[in-house]
Structure 1
Amino acid sequence: MDPELELFVKVWLTAVGSLVYCRQIAGRIPGGPARLLAVLPAVYLFIALPFQLSVVVLGAPTVFYLGWLANFKLLLFAFGAGRLAAEPPLSLVEFVAVGLLPVQKSKGAESSPGNRFRLVLESVALAAILWLSSYREFIHPNVMLILYGGTIGLCLDLMFAVTSVAVRAAVGMELEPQFDRPYLATSLQDFWGRRWNLIVTGILRPSVYLPVRRFTAPYAGEKLALAAAILATFAVSGLMHEFIFFYLTSRATPTWEVTCFFLLHGFCVVLEDQMKRGGVRRLPVGASRISTLGFVGMTGAWLFFPQLINYGVALKGIEECLTAIAYVRDRMMVM
């Protein structure tokens, strides 16, 4: 993995240089179409750079951070919006850190013992899943689906944790909140809007949800504007997941199953909202949690996971994790 690590460093150094350009040169242009033209080269780079990497465990975070989050921040910045256009202006180091990663100024609180214990448990759980996956030929496919789902959730949480440690040490900032106990969600609104991958929620709200709602409200009324904003947000999320899957599957032709997954959930969230506004009685909390997680799990098995499994992405990621663990172990033995 040494050559791939070297390429990984080059990709991120290029990204840093692009953000320096955006602040020092493009940032001097007033927000609007002219600034948009100035930042488009960086947007193109952030789309192209992840495709230089072939290792999933390095490329997946890169395509997520650069291809999605950083580009949406740059598009907001082009029109004088978002955190990159904050007043007073961010320092160069802050601009680069906020532009490339989902970070915020540190509140000075160190990681609590509870959080550290949770990360240890998650690491043990991920190790157990990786070990079980080596016996996948003896495991029922439905059980493997559950294991793949657990792997994605654990890898996301641990990826954010590693990023948080690195960012805190390098620039004294901390990661934005990522998850808020999604297993306690009592509705799809609660799951997607307040508990699951809050970093994505935080970037989609100012870049898609609020603009669509503001634009459509004068013409369609507040009720339809809300529905349009929700559907547009889920549609964009689906398309960005298709982009990530396009990278993960080595440029395989999209099947649009992932987009259908998010559009289905968008329609269901709109329906939930209408039912709540109509006074429909809610299920008890326990039943709401089971039905919410059950719906997410079943629709995920139907529409979200097939591409990852059929193209061998999940298996490749697991094998790379095992290779990385062996690599670190061997290096530690040499030291």
Structure 2
Amino acid sequence: MLGEEINSFFKVWLTVLTSLCYCHAIGKIVPKGTKRLTFLLPLVCLFLFLPLKINSPHLGGLTAFFIVWLGNFKLLLFAFDRGPLNTHLSLPLFVTLACLPVKIQQNPSSKPQLNKGISSSSNVNYAVKGLLLGIILCAYDYVEFMHPVFIKLLYSLHIYFFLEIVLAIGAVVVRSFSGLELEPQFNNPFLSTSLQDFWGKRWNLMVTSILRPTVYEPTLRFWSSVIGRKWAPLPSVFSTFVVSGVMHELMFYYLGRVSPTGEVTWFFLIHGFCLTVEIGLKKAFREWWQPPWVVTGPLTIGFVLGTGFWLFIPQFTRSKVDARSFEEYAELGALLKSCSERVLRVFGQSKRL
């Protein structure tokens, strides 16, 4: 089964790469605006369909995120010559930027010693997270003895560590072959001082970077002309969370192929509303009172975890993503064991010869 999924994965990505070559050509010959958008919309619809060809929660989930969310949103921006894609990019660079969360390095040779120190520190950081992820995977063998809240906490940490490690590996590969940098995904979210800090600067930064030009900035310009620049961020932030909620519902559908219940959307609506209130209060009372981090930090993390345990994390169980992921881990482990046994057998035969 895993072999079939890998085969489907490669077929899907071959289609994606071919489609992006078409988009690059369209950008050269069709002017920006609604005309270019008309030529790109069939590809947007195709990208919405392609993840349905992959049943693996890991391969399918990453594919859906990269092409349905990041890729499609970048193509919509490209239709109007906005965002990271433009007609001056070479074909390989255009394809890489379109389907992967990467960015072009600015002054890559500057501060080499500092970068070296940061890299060394990051290696230790990722090694610790890899060890913790391994402990979490082992802990799943004893879930029948755990409290449901603790299991949800394990799921939350699993998602966080898994994405951190996978994207770190991806960053190394991308940097080695193209000199590009993968966009950061997390920035120590457990140190968040507010919802604004959590969502804007620390959690899921790839999503933040694509929602800002596609949703937040256009709505900000609209509301600035209606209610003024000072208060325009409030409806703009809430609109961004509405779109994020809908897109997360779609991601869960790709993962589990289960009809949405709306709970994930409600999670983002609640956070969008609370963040809107928080920003409004900051604008109104910033000069009077600023609570210390020792108060706002635990409140922020507690609110995120509490609403996540209530509305977000249960979707993994409802769609059986957790069970299918464990089966995939078992298949991968068996495959690696079989391959290692074959290598040892061949090596032993060669020594006897």
- The TM-score, its normalising length taken from structure 2, stands at 0.90
Q: Where does residue 83 of structure 1 map in the other structure?
A: 84
Q: Where does residue 54 of structure 1 map in the other structure?
A: 55
Q: Please list, as runs of the form range in 1=range in 2, the aligned pairs for 1:105-184 lying within 5 A after superposition.
A: 105-106=104-105, 107=108, 112-184=119-191
1:177-197 CA distance string (max 9 Å, x none) = 221111110000000001111
Q: Where does residue 214 of structure 1 map in the other structure?
A: 221
Where 2:85 maps in the other structure, the secondary structure is: helix
Q: Specify the code of the residue in structure 1 equivalent to 2:284.
A: G
Instruction: Give structure 2 stretches of 5+ with no counterpart.
Output: 110-114, 344-353
Q: Where does residue 238 of structure 1 map in the other structure?
A: 245
1:49-72 CA distance string (max 9 Å, x none) = 111001111111000001100000
Report if the CA contact (8 A) 2:220-2:233 is conserved.
yes
Which is worse superposed, 55-64 or 168-177?
168-177
- Whichever of the two has the greater Rg, that structure is 2
Q: Where does residue 320 of structure 1 map in the other structure?
A: 328
Report if the CA contact (8 A) 1:130-1:322 is conserved.
no
Where 1:81 maps in the other structure, the secondary structure is: coil
**Percentage of identical aligned residues:** 42
Cα offset for 1:307? Answer: 1.6
Report if the CA contact (8 A) 2:234-2:280 is conserved.
no
Cα offset for 1:259? Answer: 0.8
Q: Where does residue 7 of structure 2 map in the other structure?
A: 6
1:142-165 CA distance string (max 9 Å, x none) = 110000000111111122112212
Structure 2 distance, partners of 1:50, 1:278, is 45
Report if the CA contact (8 A) 2:26-2:36 is conserved.
no
Structure 2 distance, partners of 1:154, 1:131, is 14
1:23-42 CA distance string (max 9 Å, x none) = 11244211111100111121
Where 2:290 maps in the other structure, the secondary structure is: coil
Report if the CA contact (8 A) 1:84-1:98 is conserved.
yes
* 2:270 is equivalent to residue 271 of structure 1: no
* 2:300 is equivalent to residue 285 of structure 1: no
Q: Specify the code of the residue in structure 2 equivalent to 1:297.
A: L
Structure 1 distance, partners of 2:149, 2:262, is 22
Which is worse superposed, 61-70 or 132-141?
132-141
Which is worse superposed, 132-141 or 23-32?
23-32
Report if the CA contact (8 A) 1:57-1:321 is conserved.
no
* 2:306 is equivalent to residue 298 of structure 1: yes
Report if the CA contact (8 A) 2:215-2:240 is conserved.
yes
Structure 1 distance, partners of 2:166, 2:46, is 23
- The TM-score, its normalising length taken from structure 1, stands at 0.95
Q: Specify the code of the residue in structure 2 equivalent to 1:211.
A: P
Residues 192 and 126 of structure 1: is their aligned pair in 2 closer, same or farther, counting only changes over 3 Å?
Answer: same
Structure 1 distance, partners of 2:128, 2:329, is 17
Q: Specify the code of the residue in structure 1 equivalent to 2:7.
A: E
Report if the CA contact (8 A) 1:19-1:99 is conserved.
yes
* 2:86 is equivalent to residue 101 of structure 1: no
Q: Specify the code of the residue in structure 1 equivalent to 2:220.
A: R
Q: Structure 1 segments of 4 or more deviating over 3 A?
A: 108-111
* 2:29 is equivalent to residue 28 of structure 1: yes
Structure 2 distance, partners of 1:18, 1:196, is 30
1:72-109 CA distance string (max 9 Å, x none) = 000000111111027xx111111000000011124355
Q: Specify the code of the residue in structure 1 equivalent to 2:301.
A: L
Where 2:71 maps in the other structure, the secondary structure is: helix
Report if the CA contact (8 A) 1:26-1:39 is conserved.
no
Report if the CA contact (8 A) 1:20-1:96 is conserved.
yes
Structure 1 distance, partners of 2:235, 2:263, is 21
Q: Specify the code of the residue in structure 1 equivalent to 2:205.
A: L
Q: Where does residue 92 of structure 1 map in the other structure?
A: 91
Structure 2 distance, partners of 1:150, 1:313, is 15
* 2:46 is equivalent to residue 45 of structure 1: yes
